[in-house]
Amino acid sequence: METSTSASQPSKLVLPSAPASETGSVKAWQEPVQMKTYPPCAADVHPMFLDKRVYQGSSGKVYPLPVIDRVASEPVMQIWDAIHLENEYLRVMVLPQIGGRIHVGYDKTNGYDFFYRQNVIKPALVGLAGPWLSGGVEFNWPQHHRPNTFMPVDTFIERDEDGSVTVWCSQQDALSHLKGMHGVCLRPGRAVVELRVRLYNATEQTQTFLWWANVATRVHEKYQSFFPPDVRYVADHARRAITAYPHSDRPYYGVDYAQRAIEGVPEHEQPQHFRPEGSYAADDLGWYANIPVPTSYMITSSAGDFLGGYDHAADAGLVHVANHHISPGKKQWTWGNHEFGYSWDRALTDDDGPYIELMAGVYTDNQPDFSWLAPGEGRSFEQYWYPIRRIGVPQAANVSAAMSLRVEGAKVHVGVCVTADCEDALVVLDAAGREIASWKQAISVGDPLVAEITLPQGVVESDLCLTLYAGEEEILFYAPGEVIAAPSLEVATEPAAPEEIASNDELYLTGLHLQQYRHATRSPEPYWREALRRDAGDARCHVAIGGWHLRRGEFVQAEEHFRAAIQRLTLRNANPYDGEASYQLGVTLRHQERWEEAYAAFYKSTWNAAWRTPAFYALAAMDAREGKWASVLAHTQKCLQAEAQHLQARCLRVVAYRAVGNGSAAQRLLDETLSYDALYGWAQYLASGAVPAVGQDRLDLVFDLIRTGLWGDALRVLQHPYAPTENNGAGPMLLYALARVHRALGDHKRAEETAQQSASARPDYCFPNRLDEMTLLEKTLREHPEDHRAAFYLGTMFYDRERYEEAIALWERTPADDACYSIAQRNLGIAYFNVRHDKAAALRAYENAFAANPRSGRLLYERDQLWKRAGVFAEERLRAFEEHRDLIGQRDDLSVELATLYNQRNQSERALEVLQRTFQPWEGGEGLVLAQFERAQILIAKKLLAHGNAYGAVAALETALTPPHHLGETFHLLANRSELFYRLGQAYSAAGEADRAQHFYTLAASKQGDFQNMAVSEVSNNTYWSALALNALGRSDEANTLFAKIAEHARTMQQKPAKIDYFATSLPTLLLFHEDIQARKNRQAALLLAQANVGLGNIAEAKMQLGELLKEDPNQMDALGLMQALS
């Protein structure tokens, strides 16, 4: 990609015309586009061990991906690779450098962008590893959002004989090594964007996945989303909450829509933009403008195949269609039509405005909701989108047409949109089986049928049936009276603790659920261990625990469990119903190079159909190591009989055909494989000798070749020139693999030379995560125990796999003069604190790390976080920051911490200076910058009031009411801002403006709950100010009742053990360093009790409680402020 240095003018994406060489009905060509771009900054070189991070309701572990936590604040004009598709009706643009997303979907018949068109590339920190782009269509898999969402894909343009063209985009997931590809297809004469998806599990383990196609559409107060008419309920993430749809009948995301529909939206909660005009009810979730806060909702059930959105201002919209039997997922997401949402709109675009996401899930209906993909299994499916126009919201749709039937009083409105010209269309409207109107005419793509008739007397909507025919063929029908309401589901519940579950069956299934849904804060292991405690021979739990050890690379322990499972399974039957234990035993033994035992175990597992595919491939791979090509052909044939899409078996079979001299069969199979997947790396290598350019993709190919004993091919691949790229640290592992190959080929001299190169290769972003990498490094260390770089890499992988003590021992071997020393010491600091709970050792390690790399803003930030956990006083932390003031500008989080310290020291003017930079919050971590900005203005106002400058105080506080845009965030509608309102009441009172004072006191008193840490709460530290406001209003009885409520809430907190919210979708406080959540909860309770005691006049008791709290946490700002006020 190319960049220039200036982008000061507004950007408008201009689509190029098709080249003259494109003469077909469907045109496809590659031509770059220039767009204003805010490029992501370089990724951090430190591995991120975020083992407790919650992301989109499941695990937010990001390793082995490097994390990017900053995007450029100033744009440049940048050239982006683009692939364009065009037919008679539609124009589509795909961006290969950003995940192969569809960036433009344009209806040529009416000039409408049915996908949200971004005119700038402006990523925000929403993705798993950082940058994420809104707009167009994002393809999310194997988790949400796609880990590789801002990374390039391989592409191929396929042209079919019927004139259709497909742009294929392929990418290997960096975390799971699953392969996913999607093909964006246009066909002649069809106004449909067809998506052809092919997923493949190239690993030897069953893995979980979901697929959500994430469509963005531009919205405003006249934009309405829609689901099939049988949808009656929608659910939140993990079904932790459910509400009726479209008219919400209970509070949802803290908003009582039913009350809003009855009483109206309070004026102070009305949106500044896109205000509903009153033509639809305030409880209707189908209208973007009604939803004031960030909100997800997913249908609970439907027999319909479609969803979409309609722009009533443009009189145009969008329909998605997919088979609901495999594509049950239908979801809407919005940032919300209020200030909080507007701040995210600004973060994600310059001038293109808000959007909603209309997501369609395949093999999933919720987030998180994962399905299984077996080893070697391929999945193929299709999704379709098309624009509609002039018919309003449809009640029925398939890939050929969409129909609307709307009754208004005595009038019925009929609309039919088609996706291909229909010359002999017949539309019939029946009432109770009797035709009351029909239209026989040609319906073209750009000219839908739109009609209105008067209903015969006595006919009601439920009597009607609308049918579209093309000649004699029925295309689509809709009968309102035949719609069967989809059932609701129960709200999900948190599973009980292992010891509280009655049966082993439920213990096993609970653990399996936690594994399948990748739960971030609950491990499946204790459930399976508890089952084995009760029944030491439980076969299913032995297999599960064995798999847990296998994924960690603990082969000896895994083998013990798999053999124990087999012992139980064969207690009375030598031929068990399930062959997984034998298959997994084979995998475990193969990793230990116990070939004959592994071969026998794999063969036994083929007795069960479920494991024939991976087992026969494993046998074929072992045959290939021995050069037994006839056996390879036999075993790959059996594998492909069970799973025709097994790409590795196909490629190994090509190798075997060539080895036995059957070149024609090899070529036929290779051509067939490439026709199915032209972007599969091994097939490309076999066809032309092409080697993957991306280091991780190259490693995948190399390990396939090594596993099959194709050492010569592995050598050729590894000797191919490799150009390391930023964020891609495969270089050292490629060299270690090359040394291994040299040794296997008997070239010990080159093996030694390459091993030396490996040990001195650039280590940046080398984050190994395959078991093959683990065993390669272990073997390297057995041969070269002095290779501390191999020990460092292996330690990194061990720590990710929770083999903590082994990781510590390996990292401790890194010498002080090594380039990895700083990172090793930093990693040790994390491990000493989180694993060994040794604060002193952790502090020493971080001092070593920072001394070795004093230019790292991340290390300064992480050290400060550790200091906070260790109870270091604010004065020392501030002194350290000021000594390294030049590093503060590197990071938002450093700036926030410095501003916090200045506020704690009552140096609010300096805090505001620090807060002048442009901030970029992470989704789920909003509010930190705002809190310090508001705190600084409050402190300034207090000083001004103390000096008699009431209007100066008012000005400072009103500045906090509407935070400047450069802070990157604003307050959530449900956030409690009572302190600010209370302070404004005080300031206006001091200025003699009683009415304004009462207004703000009333606002402060009206808000008692809060929204903190991405959750609604009844009581928070801000409730105290609501009670003070009640006192200021002369409502002392109510104030005392509220103070008592605060105290009661605090005592309840003290009595209940702390635990992490099982259904959390984001937990910004659980990141790098583990926190004692019980201690944190106790401190929160102590603060609330102190506040209540202050309000109730128990000052001595409040001071005692605050004193104890500040001994534990000298940086607690609310406690510091309250203690200062009492002094």
- Percentage with pLDDT > 90 across the chain: 92
Q: Measured between alpha carbons, how far is residue 119 from residues 9, 31, 223 in Å?
A: 12, 17, 20
- Tens digit of pLDDT for each residue in 194-235? 999 999 999 999 999 999 999 999 999 999 999 999 999 999
What's residue 1012's pLDDT? 84
Measured distance CA(54)–CA(923) in Å, rounded: 12
Measured distance CA(668)–CA(671) in Å, rounded: 5
- Tens digit of pLDDT for each residue in 942-965? 999 999 999 999 999 999 999 999
Structure tokens at 597: 């035992």
Structure tokens at 343: 């701040």
Q: Are 135 and 99 in contact (CB under 8 A)?
A: no
Round the CA-based radius of gyration of the chain to a whole number and report it. Answer: 31
How crowded is residue 536: how many other Cβ atoms within 10 Å of its Cβ? 11
Structure tokens at 230: 């049988």
Structure tokens at 354: 């808000």
Measured distance CA(989)–CA(2) in Å, rounded: 59
Residue 592, judged by CB atoms within 10 A of its CB (0-12, 13-18, 19+), counts as: middle
Q: How confident is the model at residue 727 (pLDDT cuts 50, 70, 90)?
A: low
What's residue 332's pLDDT? 99
Q: Are 28 and 19 in contact (CB under 8 A)?
A: no
Q: Quick one: which of 783, 1016, 1072, 840 has its CA closest to 295? A: 1016
Measured distance CA(13)–CA(552) in Å, rounded: 48
Q: Quick one: which of 1081, 1013, 1072, 1008 has its CA closest to 1045? A: 1008
Q: Are 94 and 83 in contact (CB under 8 A)?
A: yes
Measured distance CA(694)–CA(894) in Å, rounded: 34
What pairs with residue 106 in β-bridges? 91, 113
Backbone torsion region of residue 296, taken as left when φ is above 0, otherwise alpha when ψ lies between -120 and 50, otherwise beta: beta
Structure tokens at 555: 């082969």
What's residue 1069's pLDDT? 54
HSE-up of residue 746 (Cα within 13 Å, Cβ side):
0
- Tens digit of pLDDT for each residue in 530-570? 999 999 999 999 999 999 999 999 999 999 999 999 999 99
How crowded is residue 924: how many other Cβ atoms within 10 Å of its Cβ? 21
CATH topology of domain 498-605: 1.25.40
What pairs with residue 992 in β-bridges? none
Measured distance CA(617)–CA(614) in Å, rounded: 5
Q: Are 766 and 732 in contact (CB under 8 A)?
A: yes
CATH topology of domain 401-482: Immunoglobulin-like (2.60.40)
Asked if the domains 401-482 and 498-605 are classified in one and the same CATH topology, the answer is no
The CATH number of 2-7+26-71+81-387 is 2.70.98.10
Structure tokens at 221: 């107060």
- Does the domain made of 975-1127 have the CATH classification 1.20.120? no
Q: How confident is the model at residue 398 (pLDDT cuts 50, 70, 90)?
A: very high
Q: Are 402 and 475 in contact (CB under 8 A)?
A: no
φ, ψ (nearest 5 deg) of residue 962: -125, 85
Only one residue has tokens 């004692």, namely: 1076
258 SS3 class = helix
Q: Which residues contact 967 (CB under 8 A, 6 or more apart)?
A: 915, 919, 929, 930, 933
Q: Measured between alpha carbons, how far is residue 373 from residues 138, 206, 244, 764 in Å?
A: 21, 6, 33, 32
What's residue 12's pLDDT? 84
What's residue 9's pLDDT? 53
Quote the crossing angle between the two packed helices 978-990 and 1023-1032, to the nearest 10°: 30
Q: Quick one: which of 157, 170, 18, 21 has its CA closest to 99? A: 170
Structure tokens at 692: 């993957």
The CATH number of 691-795 is 1.25.40
Measured distance CA(405)–CA(429) in Å, rounded: 10
408 SS3 class = strand
Average pLDDT, the chain: 96
- Tens digit of pLDDT for each residue in 437-484? 999 999 999 999 999 999 999 999 999 999 999 999 999 999 999 999
- Tens digit of pLDDT for each residue in 584-641? 999 999 999 999 999 999 999 999 999 999 999 999 999 999 999 999 999 999 999 9
What's residue 489's pLDDT? 87
What's residue 925's pLDDT? 86
What's residue 1060's pLDDT? 86
pLDDT at residue 1071 greater than cutoff 80: no
pLDDT at residue 60 greater than cutoff 90: no
Q: Are 860 and 894 in contact (CB under 8 A)?
A: yes
β-strand 76-80 against 33-37: which pairing, if any? antiparallel
Q: Which residues contact 493 (CB under 8 A, 6 or more apart)?
A: none
What's residue 726's pLDDT? 60
Measured distance CA(716)–CA(1025) in Å, rounded: 71
Measured distance CA(690)–CA(1112) in Å, rounded: 61
**Is pTM, for the whole model, over 0.75?**
yes
784 SS3 class = coil
- Tens digit of pLDDT for each residue in 1000-1042? 999 999 988 888 877 888 999 999 999 999 999 999 999 999 9
HSE-up of residue 934 (Cα within 13 Å, Cβ side):
21
What's residue 1068's pLDDT? 59
536 SS3 class = coil
The pLDDT of 268-285, averaged and rounded, is 96
Higher pLDDT, 543 or 1120: 543
CB contact burial 308-333 (16+ within 10 A = b; e otherwise) = bbbbbebbbbbbbbbebebbbbbbbb
What's residue 3's pLDDT? 42
The distance from CA 314 to its chain's CA centroid, rounded to whole angstroms, is 32
pLDDT at residue 679 greater than cutoff 70: yes
What's residue 728's pLDDT? 74
pLDDT at residue 268 greater than cutoff 90: no
What's residue 101's pLDDT? 98
Q: Are 457 and 383 in contact (CB under 8 A)?
A: no
| Side chain identity, residue 672 | E
Q: Is the peptide bond before 963 cis (omega within 30 degrees of 0)?
A: no
Q: Are 271 and 335 in contact (CB under 8 A)?
A: no
Structure tokens at 1086: 């102590």
What's residue 2's pLDDT? 41
407 SS3 class = strand
The pLDDT of 61-84, averaged and rounded, is 96
- Percentage with pLDDT > 70 across the chain: 98
Extents of the domains making up the chain: 2-7+26-71+81-387, 401-482, 498-605, 691-795, 975-1127
Indicate if the alpha-carbon torsion angle 100, 103, 105, 106 is positive or negative: negative
Measured distance CA(207)–CA(688) in Å, rounded: 31
pLDDT at residue 77 greater than cutoff 60: yes
DSSP letters along 184-198, please? Answer: EEE-TT---EEEEEE
DSSP letters along 121-183, please? Answer: E--EEEETTEEE--SSEEEE-SSSS-TTTTS--EEEEEE-TTS-EEEEEEEE-TTT--EEEEE
Task: Please tell me what DSSP assigns to residue 358.
Answer: E
pLDDT at residue 666 greater than cutoff 80: yes
How crowded is residue 1063: how many other Cβ atoms within 10 Å of its Cβ? 18
Structure tokens at 436: 């009351």
Only one residue has tokens 């997919």, namely: 322
Measured distance CA(193)–CA(190) in Å, rounded: 8
List, in sequence order, the alpha helices (H) in 962-1035: 978-990, 994-1006, 1023-1032
What's residue 11's pLDDT? 62
The pLDDT of 746-760, averaged and rounded, is 95
Quote the crossing angle between the two packed helices 695-707 and 731-744, to the nearest 10°: 20
HSE-up of residue 659 (Cα within 13 Å, Cβ side):
18
Measured distance CA(959)–CA(933) in Å, rounded: 9
950 SS3 class = helix
Measured distance CA(218)–CA(348) in Å, rounded: 13
Q: How confident is the model at residue 647 (pLDDT cuts 50, 70, 90)?
A: very high
H or E, element range at 335: none
- Tens digit of pLDDT for each residue in 835-887? 999 999 999 999 999 999 999 999 999 999 999 999 999 999 999 999 999 99
Measured distance CA(263)–CA(783) in Å, rounded: 76
The pLDDT of 269-292, averaged and rounded, is 97
Structure tokens at 346: 């600004």
What's residue 7's pLDDT? 53
Structure tokens at 394: 């449809």
